[in-house]
Each structure stands twice: as structure tokens, then as C-alpha cells.
């Protein structure tokens, strides 16, 4: 597998971990307890920054190249491209809700939760479509030269939480994810 696809697969695994964390925080919110809003805010900033600056632009290069070469399933790539813009809007909508809570605005809990659940479901559905449909087509259609050109054009930014962590910027998120890895059972070798 080309390093570009390996990185995207790793990004999806990491984003799944972040979405699972958000799901747990939303469960607490649903039960009436106050989740760690700083953690949610950092989580949303991470999703906004890394996804929109590195992950999605890299995928767009792949989608564009597959469409240029021609595919019998252009609809998949067109849908995913539209979804990238929509994902950003869903994230911003939930972030506005969280900032409203932090600013002591009066908001309906069910509206805030609905925005968060929409964010989780939309991201999960998007990744499933990429993993099950778009990426297999791209792996079949693109040559090694295509992949090398995509890698050369793709943004290169270290993942600020999972790569070379920035503990000042994402202190709560890094701490929570680190704690979760310490609590999980040791992998079998």
C-alpha cells in the first residue's frame, strides 16, 4: 500500500477513536451530567484543523485524479467531495453549540446533543463510503506514478495529537486519549 493510503487509513482509525470519545461525552451529556467541555472543544478544533487542512485535501487529490482518469462510479467521488464541505459545516454547527454553553447561553440540551450526534454519524458514514467504495476504486485505478504525484502535492503537517503531540494546544484531548490507551488490555503478540 502506498504511504498516502497508509496515512489515510491511519487517520481514519484515529478519527474513529476521537468519534468514540465524543460519543461517550455525548452519552454523559444525554444522561444529564456535564461532560468536559474543554475536551469537546479541543476535539472539535482537532477535527477542524487536521481534517480540513491535511486529511480532506489529500483525499481530494485522490478523488480528482480518479475522476480525471475516468471511472464507472464518478458519483461516489462527487458525493464525497460535497460531503467534505458539509462535514466542516456540521463540525462548526456543533462547535457553536458548545461555545454557546461555555458562554452561558440558554440552549436546549436536545439541540446540542442532536448537533453532536449528527457530527458523529455524518463522519462515520463518510468514512465508511470512502473505505468501502472510493479507496478500493482508487487503489485499482491509480498507478505508482499517480500515487507519487499525489504524495508530492499533498499537504504535509504532523498530526498534532497522534503524531508529534502538541500537549499545550490539545492538552485535554491528549490526556484523555493517553489515559484510554493505558486502560486498554495489552495486545497479544
Tens digit of each residue's pLDDT (9 = 90 or more) over 46-97: 888 888 888 999 999 999 999 999 999 999 999 999 999 889 889 999 999 9
The candidate with the shortest Cα–Cα distance to 112, out of 88, 87, 95, is 95
pLDDT at 133 over 50: yes
State pTM to two decimals. Answer: 0.83
Residue 51 burial (CB < 10 Å; 0-12/13-18/19+)? buried
Q: Where are the domains of the chain?
A: 3-179
CATH T-level assignment (fold) for domain 3-179: 1.20.120
Amino acid at each position: 500500500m502506498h504511504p498516502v493510503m497508509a496515512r489515510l487509513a491511519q487517520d481514519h482509525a484515529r478519527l474513529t477513536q476521537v468519534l468514540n470519545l465524543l460519543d461517550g461525552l455525548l452519552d454523559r451529556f444525554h444522561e444529564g451530567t456535564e461532560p468536559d467541555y474543554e475536551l469537546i472543544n479541543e476535539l472539535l478544533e482537532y477535527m477542524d484543523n487536521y481534517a480540513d487542512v491535511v486529511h480532506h485535501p489529500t483525499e481530494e487529490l485522490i478523488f480528482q485524479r480518479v475522476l480525471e482518469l475516468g471511472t464507472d462510479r464518478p458519483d461516489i467521488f462527487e458525493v464525497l467531495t460535497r460531503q467534505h464541505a458539509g462535514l466542516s459545516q456540521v463540525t462548526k454547527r456543533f462547535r457553536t453549540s458548545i461555545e454557546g454553553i461555555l458562554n452561558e447561553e440558554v440552549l436546549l440540551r436536545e439541540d446540542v446533543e442532536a448537533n453532536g450526534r449528527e457530527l458523529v454519524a455524518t463522519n462515520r458514514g463518510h468514512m465508511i463510503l470512502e473505505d468501502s467504495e472510493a479507496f478500493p476504486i482508487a487503489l485499482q485505478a491509480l498507478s505508482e506514478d499517480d500515487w507519487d504525484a499525489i504524495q508530492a502535492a499533498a499537504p504535509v503537517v504532523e498530526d498534532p495529537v497522534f503524531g508529534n503531540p502538541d500537549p499545550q494546544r490539545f492538552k485535554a484531548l491528549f490526556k484523555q486519549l493517553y489515559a484510554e490507551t493505558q486502560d486498554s488490555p495489552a495486545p497479544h503478540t
